[in-house]
């Protein structure tokens, strides 16, 4: 077969990546690492390091990252463009796999065309490298950047002037390319879901969390530490608010009629011409009211003197009349 197979190209890409990773990693440690070292040394050796020094170090580090990225792009460009336009017509990875890049008529490509082919790879890589997978099913086994630059990747025994025939469109290659492109997304989503499931499971079985949860539900449990007491009280109040919202949503969705007030988990639910209402007191003795008027969002208020609602608490949604 004249054209290089997809897997040959993939392995060549991997080999080139290994080769180029050496100077790229060195550049990162020499350029960006030196800025981190400077910041650490400066902060350590300065008797009273100021925020300006720290900010200066962060800016220098960010600029060094930009410099590293610029170096990497130039390195990748010159490596691919110079080698693919040379007599070998191939990078080290391609030479190792016995393949090369040719032009529209099978000729050696110029540096300018090799440059265009390289920068067209940025389009091939987005999204999820699908443009690269196109080499597995297009009629001339071209990746997207080959189509843009009018180039072909062929086996090294191909001679200039030989025909470059069209091959049958590969449905199997198309399916494989789509699957390969979406595989990272599926893997990422699956990993996130699995992590969430395991995290929730661990939290449910965490003794410390269970103790904290029990403290929230225990009205008379007040820590000695004022900061912790405030945290517990705020959490209890927000727990009441969340429970009230969920229950009111359930009542509203089901169209339940409340002929008389109903107490549930320390919250009193009622219904009037205004809509569904929930009332409770937090550990500090403050009274709150959650109201669901027909056609409106849930609103909540803190009742002040005389039973009137106020907006003193910034954590509440909106004061109701």
CA quadruple 21, 24, 28, 30: dihedral, nearest 10: 110
C-alpha span between 299 and 134 (Å, rounded): 54
C-alpha span between 292 and 278 (Å, rounded): 9
How high is the pLDDT of residue 314? 45
Res 66 pLDDT > 60: yes
Scan for tokens 């300065």, then name that residue: 46
110: alpha, beta or left? (left if phi > 0; alpha if psi -120 to 50): beta
φ, ψ of residue 222 in degrees (nearest 5): -125, 115
125-132, long-range: CB < 8 A, 24+ apart: 127/181, 128/181, 128/182, 128/184, 128/185, 129/180, 129/181, 130/177, 130/178, 130/181, 132/9, 132/13
Q: How confident is the model at residue 319 (pLDDT cuts 50, 70, 90)?
A: very low
Whether the full predicted model's pTM is greater than 0.85, yes or no, is no
Scan for tokens 């962060």, then name that residue: 58
pLDDT averaged over the chain?
85
Output 292 or 110, whichever has higher pLDDT.
Answer: 110
For the chain, the first-to-last Cα distance in angstroms comes to 81
Q: Is the peptide bond before 289 cis (omega within 30 degrees of 0)?
A: no
Q: Do the beta carbons of residue 88 and residue 156 sit within 8 Å?
A: no
Span 126-181, pLDDT tens digits: 878 999 999 999 999 999 999 999 999 999 999 999 999 999 999 999 999 999 88
Scan for tokens 């609602």, then name that residue: 309
Span 167-200, pLDDT tens digits: 999 999 999 999 988 998 899 899 989 888 887 6
Res 63 pLDDT > 80: yes
How high is the pLDDT of residue 155? 97
How high is the pLDDT of residue 69? 96
Number of H helices, E strands in the chain: 10, 8
How high is the pLDDT of residue 164? 95
How high is the pLDDT of residue 280? 85
C-alpha span between 94 and 11 (Å, rounded): 8
């Amino acid at each position: 077969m004249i054209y290089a197979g997809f897997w040959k190209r993939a392995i060549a890409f991997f080999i080139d990546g290994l080769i180029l990773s050496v100077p790229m990693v060195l550049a990162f440690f020499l350029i960006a690492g030196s800025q981190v070292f400077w910041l650490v040394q400066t902060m350590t050796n300065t008797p009273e390091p100021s925020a300006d020094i720290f900010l200066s170090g962060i800016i220098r580090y960010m600029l060094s990252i930009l410099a590293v990225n610029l170096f990497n792009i130039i390195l990748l460009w010159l490596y691919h463009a110079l080698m693919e336009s040379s007599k070998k017509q191939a990078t080290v990875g391609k030479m190792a796999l016995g393949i090369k890049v040719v032009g529209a008529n099978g000729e050696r490509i110029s540096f300018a065309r090799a440059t265009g082919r390289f920068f067209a790879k940025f389009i091939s890589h987005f999204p999820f490298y699908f443009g690269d997978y196109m080499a597995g099913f297009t009629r001339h086994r071209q990746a997207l950047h080959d189509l843009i630059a009018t180039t072909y990747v062929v086996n090294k025994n191909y001679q200039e002037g030989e025909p470059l025939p069209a091959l049958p469109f590969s449905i199997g290659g198309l399916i494989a390319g789509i699957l390969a492109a979406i595989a990272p997304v599926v893997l990422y989503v699956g990993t996130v879901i699995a992590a969430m499931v395991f995290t929730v499971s661990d939290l449910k079985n965490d003794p410390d969390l269970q103790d904290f949860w029990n403290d929230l539900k225990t009205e008379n449990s007040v820590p000695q530490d004022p900061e912790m007491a405030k945290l517990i009280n705020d959490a209890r109040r927000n727990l009441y608010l969340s429970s009230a919202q969920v229950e009111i949503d359930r009542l509203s969705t089901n169209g339940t009629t409340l002929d008389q007030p109903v107490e549930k988990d320390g919250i009193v639910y009622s219904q009037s011409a205004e809509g569904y209402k929930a009332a409770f007191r937090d550990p500090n003795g403050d009274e709150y009211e959650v109201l669901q008027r027909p056609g409106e969002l849930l609103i909540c208020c803190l009742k002040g003197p005389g039973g009137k609602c106020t907006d003193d608490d910034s954590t509440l949604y909106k004061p109701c009349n």
